[in-house]
Each structure stands twice: as C-alpha cells, then as structure tokens.
Amino acid sequence: VFAASILAVLGPFLSWGDFLIRKDTRKELRQRVANIKDIPPNSRITFPFPQTNNPQIDGDPFRQYGLIRLPTGELRAYSKVCVHLWCLWDYFSTEREIQCPCHGSVYNPDTGVAVRGPASFQPYPNNSLPQLKVEVDGNGDIFVSQLDGRMGYGREWKRLLSGLIELNGASPGQEVTGYVPFRRPLTVSEVESLTSRYSVRPTMLYGYRGQAKEREWLKAETIQQAQAEMEGVYAVDVLGIPGDLLRLADDKSVVVVMLRE
C-alpha cells in the first residue's frame, strides 16, 4: 500500500519509458571525428566514441574505434575490441588486414568480418566487429553515428542480405550490382570461374600486385585488364539477378554480398 501511494504521488513526474527501458544513447549520437585530409588512403586513426573529453573515460577500451580509409577511399569505423577475447586490434596497411595481436584473429577491413584465427571460428554474429555509420559532409568533415552491433560480441551483418532477399521476391529478373569481398585473395582466373559458375558478370575487380611494402592497390573494369595487372583480387562488384547473387553469397570463398546503392 505504501509503495502504491508513493507511485501515485510520483507517477506524473516520472518518464516511465526512460525509466523502464534503458536507452542506448550511443545509437543517437553523431560525432565529428576528423577531416578527410587527416587520413590518407590505406591508413587508420583511433578515436573514442562517445567522446567526453575526459581522458580517463575516453581511454576506456570499449570506447575505442578505428577509422580506416580503405585504398579505394571508402571509410569504415569499427570497434577496436576483438570479438574473441577483447584485445585491441590494429590495421596493417601492407597486408590490408585488421590483425589482433593476442591470438592472431584477422578481419577483412571492407566488412569487419573475421577471416582467420579464433574469431573466424566463432558462430555468427560473434565473428564480426561492430561498426559505426560514417558520413562525410561538403567540407570533408567525417561524422560517425548509429552503432551496429555490440562491442566484444559482434553484429548481425548477414542482414545485409535482406535487401537481396526482398528483391528476389519482388523483382527476381531485375539485374542489380553487389559488392563481394573474398575470405582470402583469389587469382583472376579463380574470379573468372567463380563468377561464371554463378552466372554473374564482374564489373569492377579490386586487387593488388607486389609484395609487402611494395604492394600496389589496383582496380580493373574487366577480367582481361585484371589478368594483365593484378596478382590477387580481394573483392569484386558483380552484376546479376538477385537469386544468383544469393547463391554466390553461400560460396565458401565469399564473405557476403552487399547490395550497391
């Protein structure tokens, strides 16, 4: 009776939604991180999110994110906490890999999905780094927001396939472009046989030539051009109908197929 009386008096003054459901404010924050001029292609910077400007709080490993500018110029912002046993990873530009120093997990920097080491054997979604949404404004300022996933746990990256699944139901004959990162670099001939096996056409190949520090990152619009220039291919854009792209996504050499906007 006492508790009920207290609630009756305080009820109108309480925000019950906030009180009963702990809101994850990180999903609503939008924070400036740097300017695009501060990050050369194929490099990374580390930043705290959400930033408080209190060094003790901002130094918490679970607030650390790595902003990577890929050789293609695209940006990715991943939690620095490895989903294996929570060490902090680093980006190795020569190998073009995210590597964890503790037990050797390696992540694909395009997707944040673990491709080697103990994290790669963990069941989905515990095999991929949580990711922030990244936007660049007209001045080149980079903003992050909307955490996708849980630090140290992973994210539901397979829902990237949901757009393709919907299209397969609504317009099964409409050709679309998908971005396809590989678990390990393929030769150009392997890419040619993989894409013809699933009846999709490569429209852009992302690869490299040279070893270690000499490595050069390349793009090619055709298989012939890639044959002439590349030693390895780490991803492709392909054109095909949604059903074929979904079959390709199940191939063991493929991480996932992301629908291009």
Q: Which residues bind ligand FES (CB under 6 A)?
A: 82, 84-87, 100, 102-105, 117-119
Q: How far is the CB of 221 from ligand FES (least distance, A)?
A: 37
Round to whole Å and give the CA distance between 180 and 75.
17
- DSSP for 224-242, please give it: HHHHHH-SEEEEEEEEE-H
Residues whose CB is less than 8 angstroms from the CB of residue 233 and which lie 6 or more positions away in sequence, other chains included: 182, 185, 186, 187, 188, 190, 191, 205, 206, 207, 226
Q: How far is the CB of 31 from ligand FES (least distance, A)?
A: 26
Q: How far is the CB of 167 from ligand FES (least distance, A)?
A: 36
Task: For strands 30-35 and 141-148, give the pairing.
Answer: antiparallel
Nearer to ligand FES, 82 or 191 (CB): 82
CB atoms within 10 A of CB 94: 12
Q: How far is the CB of 51 from ligand FES (least distance, A)?
A: 25
Round to whole Å and give the CA distance between 168 and 73.
31
Task: For strands 176-186 and 131-136, give the pairing.
Answer: unpaired
Nearer to ligand FES, 95 or 137 (CB): 95
CB atoms within 10 A of CB 101: 11
Nearer to ligand FES, 113 or 180 (CB): 113
Nearer to ligand FES, 90 or 231 (CB): 90
Nearer to ligand FES, 86 or 143 (CB): 86
Q: How far is the CB of 92 from ligand FES (least distance, A)?
A: 14
